[in-house]
Amino acid sequence: MARDETTASPPVRVVVDDRERGCAAVLALAAMPEVACEFRRLDLGDYRVDGCLLVERKTLTDLVASITDGRLFRQAYALATHEARPLLILEGTAAEIADCGMRREAIQGALVTVTVVWGVPVLRALDGAESARLMLYAARQLRRAATGMVFRPGRRPRGRKRAQLRVLLGLPGIGKTRAERLLDAFGTVEAVMTAGAKALTDVAGIGADTAAGIRWAVGAAADEKGGHGGAAKKGGHGGAAKEGGHGGAAKKGGHGGAAKEGGHGGAAPTYDPAIHHRRSIRLDGYDYAREGAYYVTVCAEERQRLFGHVIEGHMVLNDAGRMVQAVWDELPAHYPGVGIDMFVVMPDHIHGIVYLGAGRCARSAGFRPDDTPATAGMSLPDVVNRFKTMTTKRYADGVKQSGWPRFPGTLWQRNYYEHIVRNDADLNRIREYIRNNPVAVGAVPPCPPEHLS
């Protein structure tokens, strides 16, 4: 028996600004059985859809007027920085503004600012009924995204190669570029699916973690749940441990071999140093638990722009960016002996200065770490890893609860840049770089440690 979607899921709740009452879009929404409308005065936007989508609806005539008086830019900027997802719907036909007196280029320039610079999506609707349908379609797709449903864009492919690439795009950690490289290297989807981890890592851009994810996806039995692991039954990096840890035949916690619940389990290969070794970019022989100041840069996986936008030289954080800032600010409270200094969240990376050693703070950085004893507390890798763990957990909660964009397998790149701060001049130079990073972000990439040595 076919499932009736209108009765199987709760109605889409739309809060309508009371000044919109009586317009064609509202009448169309009210007539939809899957929509529940309520009227309220909204401080921003015309419609709040399912609590997570903020919609501004403009007729083309109002669009021209709002460009003239500057209202469009104030509204769009407020939408871009709001916690909800923004959407601007432009309603009507070009004939309505044929004699408006505003040049086409001026309208296009305004829309480029709204969409490209501030990241507010714009949809066109013929009339109020179509505006209502667009809001309903958006709500449905956001609900699907919140459930974790995999969405692969584009039409169903025609031609063998396109069909093969579409299959590979369903593998964990595989985007268009990696899919093409895999197909070029192995020739067929079947060869990719049966390749071992070592052969997979020979392909440019496929690391040990991605290879393990592919082996897990294609080798796990249908009744297994989660995990990359060897013989693990719950959670993470298995081994001989029973709970937690990185052991061999783990039952709970860790990243084990044939995990049944949690972690990344299935038929993933056991650790092989010839395959899974990754080059460290830490300073060879240096004790990173030593007291001192350290400059770190951590980049989002695949450099996805998840944390906000740079607008006219200023970093405008979204909810995810504010969460990252909050986690950084909380580090000293969670971990005694850890101090923090200048910090910035950028759209796809962070820069910050960390102090290790009880009592150290930003105003007492005039020392050389090489001359100080190792601390008994946390090391720099400990601090960075816990920062990554805390932000990843909170971001995953945001994906589930607030519809934040999903990240590709991991939130952060596995490695990170670091630089040992040598003296006050070095410290001040790094502070200046961090302070000015939003201004320079369009011109230079994140600064690797060798540029500050």
Q: What is the pLDDT of residues 47-103, one digit of tens each?
A: 999 988 999 999 999 999 999 988 898 888 888 888 788 999 999 998 988 888 898
Distance CA 30, CA 305 (A): 37
Phi, psi dihedrals of residue 41, rounded to the nearest 5°: -80, 120
Please tell me the total number of residues recorded for the chain in this structure. Answer: 453
**At 11, is the secondary structure helix, strand, or coil?**
coil
State yes or no: pLDDT of 3 exceeds 60: no
Please check whether residues 413 and 336 belong to one and the same domain: yes
| Range from 14-18, 162-166, 253-257 that averages highest in pLDDT | 14-18
The phi-psi region of residue 56 (left if phi > 0; otherwise alpha if psi is between -120 and 50; otherwise beta) is beta
Phi, psi dihedrals of residue 433, rounded to the nearest 5°: -65, -45
Of 383, 289, 377, 391, residue with least CA distance to 336: 377
Q: What is the pLDDT of residues 402-427, one digit of tens each?
A: 989 988 889 999 888 888 898 888 89
**At 275, is the secondary structure helix, strand, or coil?**
helix
Please check whether residues 260 and 300 belong to one and the same domain: no
285 part of a folded domain: no
221 part of a folded domain: yes
Please check whether residues 377 and 415 belong to one and the same domain: yes
301 part of a folded domain: yes
Please check whether residues 319 and 437 belong to one and the same domain: yes
Distance CA 198, CA 180 (A): 18
Please check whether residues 200 and 96 belong to one and the same domain: no
Q: Check residue 353 and give its pLDDT.
A: 94
State yes or no: pLDDT of 380 exceeds 80: yes
Tokens representing 188 are 């067929």
Distance CA 301, CA 409 (A): 8
Percent above pLDDT 90 for the chain: 34
Q: Which helix (H) or strand (E) holds 381?
A: helix 380-402
Task: Choose one of 80, 115, 146: the last residue of a domain.
Answer: 146
Please check whether residues 300 and 397 belong to one and the same domain: yes
The phi-psi region of residue 357 (left if phi > 0; otherwise alpha if psi is between -120 and 50; otherwise beta) is left
Distance CA 416, CA 382 (A): 12
Q: What is the pLDDT of residues 257-272, one digit of tens each?
A: 333 333 333 333 343 4
CATH number, domain containing residue 101: 3.40.50.10130
Please check whether residues 305 and 430 belong to one and the same domain: yes
Distance CA 37, CA 14 (A): 5
16 Cβ contact list (under 8 Å, min separation 6): 26, 29, 37, 38, 39, 40, 46, 47
Task: Choose one of 84, 114, 146: the last residue of a domain.
Answer: 146
Tokens representing 353 are 């200065």
CATH number, domain containing residue 380: 3.30.70.1290
Q: Which helix (H) or strand (E) holds 438?
A: helix 424-440
Structure confidence at residue 357 as a pLDDT band (50, 70, 90): confident
In 258-318, where does DSSP find H-type helix? 273-276
277 part of a folded domain: no
Q: Cβ–Cβ contacts within 10 Å for residue 359, how many?
A: 9
228 part of a folded domain: yes
Q: Check residue 302 and give its pLDDT.
A: 86
Please check whether residues 170 and 96 belong to one and the same domain: no
Strand 308-311 with 314-317, pairing: antiparallel
Q: What is the pLDDT of residues 109-164, one digit of tens each?
A: 999 989 988 889 999 999 999 999 999 999 988 887 776 554 555 555 568 888 88
154 part of a folded domain: no
Q: What is the pLDDT of residues 159-179, one digit of tens each?
A: 888 888 888 888 888 888 888
**At 309, is the secondary structure helix, strand, or coil?**
strand
Please check whether residues 300 and 423 belong to one and the same domain: yes
Structure confidence at residue 431 as a pLDDT band (50, 70, 90): very high
Please check whether residues 101 and 17 belong to one and the same domain: yes
CATH number, domain containing residue 200: 1.10.150.20
Task: Choose one of 85, 111, 146: the last residue of a domain.
Answer: 146
**Average pLDDT, integer, range 267-292:** 50
Which residue's entry shows tokens 């400059």?
A: 295
Q: Check residue 364 and give its pLDDT.
A: 40
Distance CA 279, CA 294 (A): 20
State yes or no: pLDDT of 247 exceeds 60: no
State yes or no: pLDDT of 2 exceeds 70: no
Please check whether residues 118 and 18 belong to one and the same domain: yes
Q: What domain range includes position 94?
A: 5-146
26 part of a folded domain: yes
Distance CA 377, CA 350 (A): 24
Domain count, the chain: 3
Structure confidence at residue 288 as a pLDDT band (50, 70, 90): low
155 part of a folded domain: no
Please check whether residues 336 and 425 belong to one and the same domain: yes
Structure confidence at residue 325 as a pLDDT band (50, 70, 90): very high
Phi, psi dihedrals of residue 219, rounded to the nearest 5°: -110, -10
Structure confidence at residue 441 as a pLDDT band (50, 70, 90): low
Does residue 315 contact residue 348 with C-beta atoms inside 8 Å?
Answer: no
| Average predicted confidence (pLDDT) for the chain | 77
